[in-house]
Amino acid sequence: MDAKSWLRKALGRGVKSPQRKSLPDGVWLKCDGCAAIIYRNELMRNLWVCPRCGQHMKVGAAEYVALLTDDGFEEEIAAGLISADPLKFKDSKSYKDRVKAATAKTGLEDAVVAGSASIDGVSVALAVMDFNFIGGSMGSVVGEKVARTMRAGLERGLPVVIVSRSGGARMQEGILSLMQMAKTAAMAARLREARIPFLSVLTHPTTAGVMASYASLGDVIISEPGALLGFAGPRVIRDTIKQELPEGFQSAEFFLEHGMIDLIVPRTKMRETVGRVLRHLAAPAPVAGE
């Protein structure tokens, strides 16, 4: 299967496929871990994990939906939400232009895609973040789409899976971005009351406002190996404590060692692991609307 039809399949029926891919073009790709030059199709078959060094390459949302689900999205959730510019924010570039550039670069409407899907045979409400869209940052649209994904799970009695990959809250929407943390956490509270399983999958990198809200609230939290996880960015910490950070600090392995996550699972085992966990938690199937 060529990359294009594979992407189309990933996004499922009736869902517009992104115009551009988040990985560089070309038949050969360089691993961001060991710098080995690898045949694109070989990488793709290995779910964008380097066959030489095991590096989990930073893939876009479309690729991740494809590798995690059985058959892409069945139906998109909260499609058509576009970032506004409530603060008329401008630094070296206006926020409006940043959103436009990100849309052109990724073909996405914002930094998360969501839909109903099947993972290893289990029906779920799924949201997957994309780092190429302004660092996967959470503004109003990301917060709303994540919240609506959770609401879909609540209303349809579907387990919720959220794959995070984000630098944190989106500065350009100021306080409104901060409030998305409360919004998504409130929905997580509702899921918890309703005993709907919520699984949080962490990928490289997941930090700050996203880590300090829904990404940390999964009933089960699974990370890809080697992912950078944390509250503050390493640079901020280094500037605060004025000393070098220990090796492996803020990695998925560091989080596991300190009891903050349940599991580290390689991408090649992610689909079956998510399926196995959900089958434990969702059996017997809850009755919707009860």
Partner 1 sequence: MLNPLSDFERNVRDLQAHIDELRNIAAKKGDGDAQVVNAALENLVSQTTHLRSRRYANLTTWERVQVARHPERPHTLDYVDMIFSDWVELHGDRRFADDPAMVCGLARLNGRSVAIIGQQKGRDTKKRIHRNYAMPHPEGYRKALRVMELAQRFHLPIVAFVDTPGAYPGIASEERGIAEAIAVNLREMAVMDVPILAIVIGEGGSGGALGIAVADRVLMLENSWYCVISPEGCASILWRTPEMAPAAAEALQLAAPQLEKIGVIDEIIPEPAGGAHANWKEMAAAIRDRLQAHLDELLELSGAELVQRRIERFSSVGVWHEKEKSS
Binding site for partner 1 (CB under 8 A): 14, 79-84, 86-87, 89-92, 139-141, 143-144, 147, 169-171, 173-183, 185-190, 192-193, 208-209, 211-217, 230-232, 236-237, 240-241, 245-246, 249-250, 254, 258-260
Q: 287 is written with which tokens?
A: 């009755």
Is the CB of 6 or the CB of 254 nearer to partner 1?
254
List the beta strands (DSSP E) in 130-280.
Answer: 160-166, 198-207, 220-223, 229-230, 263-264
Is the CB of 38 or the CB of 114 nearer to partner 1?
114
CB of 67 to partner 1, least distance (A): 26
Q: 45 is written with which tokens?
A: 């078959």
CB of 60 to partner 1, least distance (A): 21
Is the CB of 37 or the CB of 241 nearer to partner 1?
241
CB of 226 to partner 1, least distance (A): 17
The conformation of residue 154, written as its DSSP 8-state character, comes to H
Residues 207, 166: contact at Cβ < 8 Å? yes
Residues 48, 10: contact at Cβ < 8 Å? no
- 61-68 and 3-11 are packed helices; what angle lies between their axes, rounded to 10 degrees? 70
Of 174, 82, 64, which is closest to residue 126 (Cα–Cα)? 64
| Whole-angstrom distance, CA of residue 110 vs CA of residue 130 | 8
Residues 44, 37: contact at Cβ < 8 Å? no
| Whole-angstrom distance, CA of residue 121 vs CA of residue 131 | 27
Is the CB of 129 or the CB of 141 nearer to partner 1?
141
Is the CB of 38 or the CB of 160 nearer to partner 1?
160
CB of 154 to partner 1, least distance (A): 12
CB of 162 to partner 1, least distance (A): 13
259: left (phi over 0), alpha (psi -120 to 50) or beta: left
Is the CB of 236 or the CB of 288 nearer to partner 1?
236
Cβ neighbours, 10 Å, residue 258: 8
Is the CB of 48 or the CB of 255 nearer to partner 1?
255
